[in-house]
Amino acid sequence: MTKMTMTSSPYGGVDPGLARSLAGRTAQQQPRWPDEQEVREVREALGGRAPLVAPAEVDQLTARLAEVAAGRALLLQGGDCAETFAGNTPEHLRANLRVLLHCATLLEVASALPVVHVGRIAGQYAKPRSRALGPDGLPAYRGDIVHGAAADAAARRPDPRRMLTAYAGAQAALTVVRATAAESRTELFTGHEALLLDYELPLVRAGYGLSGHFLWIGERTRDLDGAHVTLARHLANPVGVKVGPGTTPAQVLALAAALDPDRTPGRLTLISRMGADRVTGVLPPLVEAVAAAGHPVVWLCDPMHGNTQVAESGLKTRHFDRIVAEVEGYFAVHRALGSHPGGLHLEFTGDDVTECLGGREDLREDQLPERYLTACDPRLNGRQSLDLTRLVAEILLR
């Protein structure tokens, strides 16, 4: 795993106050760029680019999420695990947004609450990895913003200029997002994991992270004193933190204190990703601790990342039934505690992929290679996403 220590030397393209807070902090999961001078030039170039989203839009999302935190709305976040440059086509983006909006409509009807839409879109290009090397012995794929996915050493060499391609890709994707929102006469917000600091930092302007509306910190980078939490503390955006099965109440309280010191409704979303077997055991004390400390957070359920398994072929997959089981556990926990189940965080695509097992078509392991197209984690296809949402709708109507 690649750790970097943030330097205190002039940090090209980066807000000086933020650079000072970051000095000396550890940044997990950063690529080892071959040429520091080139990275500095890219950061400076990004620092001179227009922001991708506007502060007023970001504030609007905070206001919407405040409604979710208060129990008067739901949140649906979803899209690709890893967006790719090749996949950044209007067809793919629209297909994913259609799933997002369609699922949200089902939830809206069942709950009689408005649903806030946040895509994993227009910036979801960087991936954290548990191991530095993949099973093929090559550096693990960290997303198109870092290097190419092809299985050869040359492709996997980190290239900082890819951050400029990612910026342009996000800008193009945003055009599609905004057009879709206008056609459907609805609101669409963008979100991604704020992982790659050389990309995120130059897009911080006047205290906002303007690479996307909603920025989250992953399970692997949420150390309290690390660079990612330090960045999130500095931002006025609504921020998310993934919380996995090893999370203690003390850890979640420390994160809430750091990221939501003023107890601002909508500011902090805690995204639980426990696994179907762990959710009913691990989640309740976390929810109770956060409520007792008075943080008006959104509790979101990510039923994907705690339920990943490896098929005999070596392909990563998830079984539809395990995903459903975690969602059921999540709703049961919140029902028992009287807390608001704020919604779902999903990995899906509108493309007709064969990446997750089970579901209506009862997809089997031997069928996974038929249309296994993800660059990283297995996504629900459109039918599986709608089926999952229908089951959630039934839970909401109980």
Under rule CB under 6 A, residue 162 binds ligand PEP: no
CA 342/CA 340 separation, integer angstroms:
6
Under rule CB under 5 A, residue 355 binds Mn ion: no
* Structure-token match 């089997």, residue found: 364
Under rule CB under 6 A, residue 160 binds ligand PEP: no
Binding partner at 342 among ligand PEP, Mn ion, none, C-beta below 5 to 8 Å by kind: none
Under rule CB under 5 A, residue 387 binds Mn ion: no
- Judged by CB under 6 A, the chain residues 228 through 257 that form the site for ligand PEP are 242
Instruction: Provide, rounded to whole angstroms, the least separation between the CB of residue 361 and Mn ion.
Output: 22
Which stretch in 24-32, 111-119, 217-225, 334-342 sits in contact with ligand PEP by CB under 6 A?
217-225
Figure out which of the listed residues 46, 66, 81, 176 binds Mn ion, where binding follows CB under 5 A: 81
- Judged by CB under 6 A, the chain residues 368 through 387 that form the site for ligand PEP are 377
Nearer to ligand PEP, 270 or 287 (CB): 270
CA 76/CA 303 separation, integer angstroms:
13
Instruction: Provide, rounded to whole angstroms, the least separation between the CB of residue 246 and ligand PEP.
Output: 12
Figure out which of the listed residues 92, 228, 267, 305 binds ligand PEP, where binding follows CB under 6 A: 305
In sequence order, the 6+-apart residues with CB closer than 8 A to the CB of 130 are: 1, 220
Q: What does 191-255 look like in DSSP terms, one character per residue? A: EEE---HHHHGGGEETTEETT-SEEEE-TTS--TTSHHHHHHHH--S-EEEEE-TT--HHHHHHH
Nearer to ligand PEP, 200 or 377 (CB): 377
Figure out which of the listed residues 15, 144, 193, 377 binds Mn ion, where binding follows CB under 5 A: 377
In sequence order, the 6+-apart residues with CB closer than 8 A to the CB of 219 are: 128, 242, 243, 244, 273, 305
- What is the pattern of x (binds ligand PEP, CB under 6 A) and - over residues 117-136? -----------x--------
In sequence order, the 6+-apart residues with CB closer than 8 A to the CB of 5 are: 24, 25, 26, 27
Per DSSP bridges, beta strands 343-347 and 74-79 are parallel
Under rule CB under 6 A, residue 40 binds ligand PEP: no
Which H or E run includes 168?
A: helix 162-183
Figure out which of the listed residues 162, 273, 319, 334 binds ligand PEP, where binding follows CB under 6 A: 273
CA 380/CA 318 separation, integer angstroms:
9
Collapsed DSSP state (helix, strand, coil) of residue 46: helix
Nearer to ligand PEP, 1 or 336 (CB): 1
CA 252/CA 238 separation, integer angstroms:
17
Site size with Mn ion, rule: CB under 5 A: 2
Neighbouring CB atoms inside 10 A of 130's CB total 9
Give the residues lining the site for ligand PEP (CB under 6 A).
Answer: 81, 128, 193, 218-220, 242, 273, 305, 377
Give the residues lining the site for Mn ion (CB under 5 A).
Answer: 81, 377
